[in-house]
Copies of this chain bind each other. A is one copy, B any other.
Amino acid sequence: MNKLYEQLLPYLERNHAYQTALALLSWDTETLAPPAAADYTAKSVGILSEEAYRILVCDEVHDLLKKLSSKKEQESLSAEERAVVRCLKKEYEKTACIPQKEYREFSEFCATAQTIYCRAKLADRFEDFAPVLEKMIDYTRRFASYRAKKGDNLYDLLLNDYEEGFTVKVLDDFFEQLRKALVPLLHKVTAKKDMIDKSYNYRTYPVEKQRDFCRFLAGYTGFDFNRGVIAESEHPFTTNLHNHDVRLTNHYHEKNLESAIFSVIHETGHALYEMGVDDSLTGTPAGAGVSMGMHEAQSRFYENMIGRSDAFWEPLFAKLTAAFPDELADVSMEQFLNGINRAEPGLIRTEADELTYPLHIMIRYELEKQIFSGDCTVKDLPELWNQKYKEYLDVTPKTYAEGILQDIHWSMGNFGYFPSYAIGSAIAAQIYSYMKGQMPLDDYLKEGNLVPVREFLRDHIHKYGSIYTTNELLKQMTGEEFNPDYYIRYLTEKYTRLYQL
């Protein structure tokens, strides 16, 4: 092993131990911790974040990274080691420019902000969250400015954190294409919205039975219970301490059958990515999925391309009706397949169908652009939100909770994150198109055999962790970089067929 790289290992180990503890504290807060603990936990998170900062931001790490980035040293490193150095350097540069004290204050503030957000949403009071949001935007702007080079667009920097290379310029173009294709398509679909009856979905489905069926579904889809656990939280999410400890949550609504079902398939898609990272990367800065866009590509691929397909349900529908014999007694498989693919403009992103989903994202993207260009204040946001929902989806929130307060992301400081949901959906369609040419996908699904799907993704994407960028992975696999045409074609064909347009 390269001598300099060897000197880096103790820092990597320590860094990983802190990240493990911080990830666990965050997971615990979301899933289990008692309410009164929140403020105390926030303080511990602040302190441990500061300690982690100290490990990373020191002369030794700085010097090692500098030396290891030289052409000569790079040549003696393995692909994995080069990726580790690159990822750590990125993390270093993002962190080291922030003064230590501010970093700690921000970490503590983040942990508190989520609690305040959750309470504000519950009470439907935007005014309670507004000062926090303002402070969060200030922090984000300030921290981005610390690392900005002359002429950098701050929002570009944020976007780059979640998906390298996807600047405002790229995304404006991407969303413009989506808007042009999807808005007219949605109008046609909406005109025929009564074609599909989905009332069965809103009957009463006992939570206990949903929980059992979703657990089965996760395992069916490939979730490895030896390396992961399933818990519950307000909003489903997936987190990973490392590739041997991957955790997802679900949420069960008694009066909505498909919410939990597609959430668990979605989150299993995320989990399979992390579980599939090669062991040579475990616990290193390159040991997780490369980007939020590629992550969403996995989850939305499983949720939509696989999970909403006829072939997937062919061996499963009988299991579903066996779990809910009375509730689904009069529902045919065809009805169910139409129901789970029905499109209709709505207010809630996480409950949106495939067709309207990217429009929800576009709205958030446009708002974030305005926030960081200084075109709007926090006070304007609820009204702007509602205007855009009216314009793109022709719906109007009646409460803050179903409007501006619906997503947790901003309370976590995740600005620039939303676009990766749409990018991910587009990548999922691109992968889907390619995969269908490589294997008899529907046949496998009809046999109830998801192994070839998982292995294909593992071999082409998962195992590499963060070794390659999204575009590199796509190019290696499909021969082509990111191309949203597949996504537009996929949605157009799907909804044209479904609604007989």
Contacts and interface: CB of A to CB of B under 8 A. Distances in A.
Contact of A24 (B28, B47, B228, B244): B28
A320 interface: no
A455 interface: no
Question: Binding site of A, secondary structure by majority: helix, strand, loop or mixed?
Answer: helix
A25 B493 CA distance: 49
Contacts of A13: 43, 47
Interface stretch (A32-40, A134-142, A361-369, A444-452): A32-40
Interface in A235-288: 241-242, 244-246, 282-283
Given A28-B28, A245-B41, A48 B36 contact: no
A14 interface: yes
A33 B227 contact: no
A14 B43 CA distance: 10
Contacts of A37: 227, 241-242, 244-245
A: interface residue count bin = 35 or more
A51 interface: yes
B244 A36 contact: yes
A231 B32 contact: yes
B17 A48 contact: yes
A433 interface: no
Interface string A49-81: 001000000000000000000000000000000
Given A16-B44, A17-B47, A20-B44, A34 B282 contact: no
A226 interface: yes
A120 B227 CA distance: 21
A283 B226 contact: no
A4 interface: no
A493 to B, nearest CB: 40
A250 to B, nearest CB: 15
Contacts of A16: 44
Given A34-B244, A47-B13, A40 B231 contact: no
Contact of A283 (B28, B35, B40, B227): B40
A216 interface: no
A35 B282 contact: no
Nearest to A48: B17
Contact of A36 (B34, B44, B245, B283): B245
Interface in A218-237: 225-229, 231
25 contacts: A13-B43, A16-B44, A17-B43, A17-B47, A17-B48, A17-B51, A20-B41, A20-B44, A21-B21, A28-B28, A32-B231, A34-B225, A34-B227, A34-B229, A34-B245, A34-B246, A35-B226, A36-B226, A37-B227, A37-B244, A37-B245, A40-B242, A40-B245, A40-B283, A41-B245
Given A13-B43, A34-B225, 11 more contacts: A14-B47, A17-B44, A17-B48, A21-B48, A33-B245, A34-B226, A34-B228, A36-B226, A37-B242, A40-B245, A40-B283
